[in-house]
Amino acid sequence: MESKRQQKFAGVLQEELAQVFQRDGGAFLPNTLVTITRVRVSSDLAVAKVYLSFFNTTNTELSINTVNAHTGEIRYKLGARIRHQVRVVPELTFFVDDTNEYVERMDTIFDKIAKEPRQPEEESE
The answer to whether residue 115 scores a pLDDT higher than 90 is no
How many angstroms separate the CA atoms of 78 and 62, rounded? Answer: 22
CB 36 within 8 A of CB 54: no
Cβ burial, residue 124 (10 Å; 0-12/13-18/19+): exposed
Is this prediction's pTM over 0.75? yes
Contact in structure between 18 and 3 (CB atoms under 8 Å): no
Contact 78, 20 (CB under 8 A): yes
For residue 118, pLDDT beyond 90: no
The residue that leads in pLDDT, 101 or 108, is 108
Give me the residue spans of the domains in the chain. 4-115
| CATH fold for the domain made of 4-115 | GMP Synthetase; Chain A, domain 3 (3.30.300)
pLDDT at residue 89, as a whole number: 93
pLDDT in tens, 53-95: 988 888 889 999 999 999 999 999 999 999 998 888 999 999 9
Interatomic CA distance for residues 97 and 110, integer angstroms: 22
